[in-house]
Amino acid sequence: MPHKPAPDRDSFLPTTAEEIRARGWDEVDIVFVSGDAYIDHPSFAASILCRWLEKHGFRVAILSQPDWKSADPWRELGRPRLFYAVSAGNMDSMVNHYTANRKRRNQDAYSPGGQIGLRPDRPTAVYAQRCREAWQGVPVVIGGVEASLRRIAHYYYWSDTVMPSSLLKSKADLLGFGMGEGILLGIAQRLDAGESIRDLRDLRGVAYLLGRKEDLPEHDFDLGHGGGGDVRLPSFEEVKEDKRKFAEATRLLHHETNPQNGRRLIQLHGDRRLVINPPELPLDEAQMDDLYDLPYTRLPHPSYREPVPAWEMIQDSVQIMRGCFGGCTFCSITMHQGRTIQSRSPRSILHEVEQIAGAPGFKGHISDLGGPTGNMYRMRCTQPEVEARCRRLSCIHPTICKLLDISHKDTIHLMREARAIPGVKKVHIASGIRTDLARFDEEYIDELVEHHVGGHLKVAPEHASPRVLELMKKPELDTFDDFADKFRKASHKRGKDQYLVPYFIGSHPGSTVDDMIELAIFLKQRGYKPEQVQDFIPAPMDIATCMYHTGLDPITMKPVDTATKLKDRQVQRALMQFFAPENYHTVRRALLDADRRDLIGRGKQCLIPDTPPKLATRKHKKLSASRKGYRSSARNRSQAYKPQEPS
């Protein structure tokens, strides 16, 4: 249960017909349909978007995790006057529901009690259909991470197919991509002024489908700096049949993501045209403050009888910025939040810390002061006129741009001010640290070590192979070693027993068994034994996903070998945890197959001993028996774990 007393329901946005009537409303303007539990906290999309609409005078209701098997929950809230806004939730539903090996997860962190099954696979299209069934003629706008990253024809890992834009299956009127505050407010204000949903096709940050007889609207979106005109992507039919065309479409898409020069994209889907307008312009500091200064209760809706795991994790965290200029090929942050860093003012951030510190039940620990990264706060290009023309996919790869301001001065000042607030005992930095930036500022490292590390610090070198790191667009390993050495020395100087928790990825495109052996050697030499490792999951629209599907790097069009079979992926995962007894036999076979017997034995350089530990033998026999049992009933069990196939 929440450790803070819940306010009454009137402090929350209405979620039922009864709560709507309690406000004295005879109708609502907008119904926001979400696949997540309703948490009135700025880290949750439904809350921040709906509070933003509320601030501007609109009556908003939240339909949270509705029973999608009929339209009755939609009808119960009444017909919205303006439109439905539909989101699958904070995460892509398929990543939320299934592991990299396509097995069903046993917990949904965004549901009360972690309960699974409270939303369907790919709820965006399902929810949109129920909106139309409940009230015909009401405009439907889809958005959120799931829709945003499926705005064009994309690779669908769960069935190993290329799928059309999510606009086709959902039949939504508009798709809003990116963070969405400006898009939703613009839609609401213009519909309220009497415009039709089709009139809104000139908005930035929206995508839509043109009917076969409709003309392409003429818009320039005020693009200077080399912008203007349209970019024609290979059609859905072409990218589905031709992997080189898929790679070409991916390259074109990623080079049009700068809002200041990104051009309109057009992709044929049969006899219809998908039109994707340029992204929204980034928010300035005042706009960010307006968003985060809204009257959030920071609590789950009081109707929930069980805690929501995601809220328990972030309830006392503070988001100080959004966006990322890293450009990692396996990460979707840039494609959703943008490359430009959008930061809040210190006043706004410290006011939120004061609110948390003054709340009943606060135990003195701010769990995080960060965002997509822990140390990109207020970092921007020092020459806006160059930034407006720039089409680089990363500001820090292959080298850090000389125009990028990488000073940690504002971050250091913010950390000092936050921990000085009465009632605050500790301010943790839990967001991942970019070591390639932090290593240049020893004052920042000293601040982390002295005040903001609770025994361990998360970092993400991701790999040890230079070739794989290049495909990931991650820095060379010596940058991590440099930071790790400075972190260790600073901790030792202060008498603190602190350590780094590095994250690594297995089966990333281009990563072979030899590369994973190189990573295992690195881990052995540095004394790291990662308890948690990641298997690469091909998320829609990522550059690495294109590599996985096509076998091509879309930027260079050079071939990239990829581990796609489950057995091969399991070997790569085992090598990241070579020290675990249950992985002994898999690691031994991989080393022998790679002609690396020199890594088996009792030498200091060896990864595993000559003879298996007793625990490894017992677990190996148990695993063999379970595999036999699994194969004997595979058909029945496969139905339980198989993701729903797209229709």
User: What is the 3 state secondary structure string of 396-442?
Assistant: CCCCCCCCECCCCHHHHHHHHHHHCCCCCCEECCCCCECHHHHCCCH
Asked if residue 513 is part of any domain, the answer here is: no
CATH number at residue 188: 3.40.50
**What DSSP element (H or E) covers 544?**
helix 543-550
**What DSSP element (H or E) covers 333?**
helix 333-337
- State how many domains the chain has: 1
- Predicted confidence at residue 255, as pLDDT, reads 95
Residue type, 429: I
**pLDDT mean across residues, the chain:** 92
Per-residue pLDDT band for 225 (boundaries 50, 70, 90) equals: low
Contacts of 301 (CB under 8 A, 6+ apart): 9, 12, 15, 37, 38, 39, 40, 64
**Over 90: is that where the pLDDT of 455 sits?**
no
Give the mean model confidence (pLDDT) for residues 604-626.
77
Asked if residue 619 is part of any domain, the answer here is: no
**Over 90: is that where the pLDDT of 551 sits?**
yes
Residue range 332-377, pLDDT digits in tens: 999 999 999 999 999 999 999 999 999 999 999 999 999 999 999 9
Residue of 416 and 618 predicted with greater confidence: 416
**Over 60: is that where the pLDDT of 646 sits?**
no
- Predicted confidence at residue 626, as pLDDT, reads 53
Asked if residue 95 is part of any domain, the answer here is: yes
Give the mean model confidence (pLDDT) for residues 628-640.
45
Would you state the torsion angle of the CA atoms of residues 39, 41, 42, 48, taken in this order, to the nearest 10 degrees?
A: 50
Does this model's pTM top 0.85? My answer is yes
Contacts of 442 (CB under 8 A, 6+ apart): 486, 490
**Over 70: is that where the pLDDT of 634 sits?**
no
Asked if residue 346 is part of any domain, the answer here is: no
Asked if residue 56 is part of any domain, the answer here is: yes
- Range name among 46-50, 98-102, 116-120, 640-644 with the lowest pLDDT average: 640-644
Alpha-carbon span 446 to 459, nearest angstrom: 16
Asked if residue 88 is part of any domain, the answer here is: yes
Give the mean model confidence (pLDDT) for residues 120-134.
97
What are the structure tokens assigned to 437, written together? 């930036």
Alpha-carbon span 358 to 350, nearest angstrom: 12
Rounded to 5°, angle at Cα 396 from 345 and 527: 100
Alpha-carbon span 14 to 50, nearest angstrom: 11
- Owning domain of residue 81: 9-209
Give the mean model confidence (pLDDT) for residues 192-216.
95
Asked if residue 214 is part of any domain, the answer here is: no
Per-residue pLDDT band for 414 (boundaries 50, 70, 90) equals: very high
Tell me the three state secondary structure of residue 494: coil
- Predicted confidence at residue 378, as pLDDT, reads 97
Contacts of 518 (CB under 8 A, 6+ apart): 464, 465
- Predicted confidence at residue 7, as pLDDT, reads 58
Which ranges of 234-284 does DSSP label H, i.e. alpha helix? Answer: 236-241, 243-254
Tell how strand 321-322 and strand 342-343 pair up. Answer: antiparallel
**Over 50: is that where the pLDDT of 210 sits?**
yes
Is residue 348 within 8 A of residue 288, CB to CB? The reply is yes
Per-residue pLDDT band for 170 (boundaries 50, 70, 90) equals: very high
- Predicted confidence at residue 492, as pLDDT, reads 95
What are the structure tokens assigned to 341, written together? 């860093």
Rounded to 5°, angle at Cα 608 from 605 and 612: 155
What are the structure tokens assigned to 327, written together? 């450009």
Asked if residue 126 is part of any domain, the answer here is: yes
Q: For 313, phi and psi rounded to 5 degrees? A: -75, -35
- Predicted confidence at residue 228, as pLDDT, reads 65
For residue 168, with 0-12 CB atoms within 10 Å meaning exposed, 13-18 middle and 19 or more buried, which class applies?
A: middle
Give the mean model confidence (pLDDT) for residues 547-551.
98
Alpha-carbon span 394 to 376, nearest angstrom: 13
- Predicted confidence at residue 15, as pLDDT, reads 97
- Predicted confidence at residue 369, as pLDDT, reads 96
**Over 70: is that where the pLDDT of 632 sits?**
no
Per-residue pLDDT band for 642 (boundaries 50, 70, 90) equals: very low
